[in-house]
Chain A
Amino acid sequence: MEERASMRILLVDDEPELVFTMQERLELRGFTVDAVTSGKEALQRIDDNPYDVVVVDVKMPGMGGGEVLTSVRESHPSLPVILLTGHGGSGDEGEEHMLRAACAFLYKPVKIEKLIETMKGCVGEQSDG
Chain B
Amino acid sequence: MERNSAGESEPVKGTPLASKETDGSLFRYRRLWTSIVISTSLVSLIPLLIMVVVNYYQYQKAFNEEVKQPLRMLASNAQRSLRFLINERQSFLDFIIHNTSFEELNDQAGLTKVFRNLKKTHDDLVDLGVIGARGRQRSYVGPYSLKNKDYSQQDWFKQAMLQGRAVSDVFLGYRKFPHFVIAVRALNNDGEAYILRATLNAEVLGGGIGRHREAQDIFVVNREGILQTPSKRYGKILSKAAIKVPPAAQETRVVEERDDKGHIRILGYGYIKSTPFIFMVVEQRDTLLTSWFDLRNKLLWFLGLSILVIVIVILVGATYSVNRIREADNKRLEVLHKVEYTAKMASVGRLAAGVAHEINNPLAIINEKAGLLDDILLTAEDFPYKSKFQKTVKPILDSVERCARITQRLLRFAKHIDVRREQIQLEYLLREVLSFLDKECTYRSIDVIVDVQDGVALIESDRGRLQQVFLNIINNAIGAVEDGGRIHVLIAREGDNHVSVTIRDNGVGISEENRQHIFEPFFTTKEKYGTGLGLSITYGLVEKLGGKITVDSQVGEWTKFTVVLPIVPEDDNGREGKHANSAG
Contact = CB atoms under 8 A, between A and B. Distances in A.
Contacts of B5: 96, 99
A109 B404 contact: yes
Contacts of A91: 4, 7-8, 349, 353, 415
B408 interface: yes
Given A87-B357, A114-B584, A105 B369 contact: no
B367 A109 contact: yes
B361 A86 contact: yes
Given A18-B361, A89-B4, A105-B3, A25 B356 contact: no
A22 B7 contact: no
Contact of B368 (A18, A90, A96, A121): A18
Nearest to A14: B361
A96 B372 contact: no
Nearest to B368: A21
A62 to B, nearest CB: 17
Interface in A60-94: 85-92
A17 interface: yes
Contacts of B7: 89-92, 95-96
A45 interface: no
Nearest to A28: B375
Contacts of B2: 107
B353 A88 contact: yes
Contacts of B366: 109
The main secondary structure of chain B at its interface with chain A is helix
A59 B583 contact: no
Contacts of B368: 17-18, 21-22, 25, 109
A25 B400 CA distance: 17
Contact of B360 (A1, A17, A99, A107): A107
Given A21-B372, A109-B404, A86 B356 contact: yes
B83 interface: no
Given A21-B368, A109-B404, A112-B371, A121 B584 contact: yes
A88 B356 contact: yes
A109 B407 CA distance: 10
Interface string B350-389: 0011001111110111111101100110110000000000
B6 interface: yes
* Most A CB within 10 A of own CB, among B2, B358, B379, B584: B584
A42 interface: no
Nearest to B8: A91
Interface in B1-56: 1-8
Contacts of A107: 1-2, 360, 404, 408
A15 B353 contact: no
A28 B1 contact: no
B376 to A, nearest CB: 8
A88 B360 CA distance: 9
Interface string A4-48: 000000000001011001101100100000000000000000000
Contact of B584 (A17, A86, A89, A106): A106
Given A88-B408, A99-B5, A109-B404, A21 B369 contact: yes
A88 B4 contact: yes
Contacts of B408: 88, 107
Contacts of B584: 104-106, 114, 117-118, 121
B3 A110 contact: no
Interface in B192-229: none
Contact of A108 (B353, B360, B375): B360
A105 B357 CA distance: 15
Contacts of A89: 3-4, 7, 353, 411, 415
B579 interface: no
Given A107-B1, A107-B360, A17 B415 contact: no
Contacts of B375: 1, 25, 28
Contacts of B8: 91
Contacts of B89: none
B400 A86 contact: no
A127 B583 CA distance: 19
Contacts of A24: 372
A34 to B, nearest CB: 16
B147 interface: no
B273 interface: no
A1 B366 CA distance: 21
A123 to B, nearest CB: 13
A91 B346 CA distance: 10
B285 interface: no
A112 B367 CA distance: 9
Contacts of A99: 3, 5
Given A86-B364, A109-B366, A25 B372 contact: yes
A25 B3 contact: no
Interface string A95-129: 11001000011111111101001100100000000
A17 B365 contact: yes
Contacts of A106: 1, 584
* Most B CB within 10 A of own CB, among A25, A86, A96, A117: A86
B574 to A, nearest CB: 22
Nearest to A18: B365
Nearest to A105: B3
Nearest to B360: A86
A21 B372 CA distance: 7
Interface in B387-409: 400-401, 404, 407-408
B488 interface: no
B412 interface: yes
B354 to A, nearest CB: 9
* Most B CB within 10 A of own CB, among A89, A99, A106: A89
Interface in B337-353: 349, 352-353
A18 B356 CA distance: 17
A90 B353 contact: yes
5 contacts: A15-B365, A99-B5, A105-B3, A111-B401, A112-B371
Interface of A: 1, 15, 17-18, 21-22, 24-25, 28, 59, 85-92, 95-96, 99, 104-112, 114, 117-118, 121
Given A15-B365, A106-B1, A118-B584, 14 more contacts: A28-B379, A86-B356, A86-B357, A87-B353, A88-B407, A89-B7, A89-B353, A91-B8, A95-B7, A99-B5, A109-B366, A109-B367, A110-B1, A110-B367
Q: What are the 9 tightest A-B residue pairs by CB atom distance, in nearest-first order?
A: A88-B411, A86-B360, A109-B367, A108-B364, A86-B357, A89-B4, A91-B7, A21-B368, A109-B364
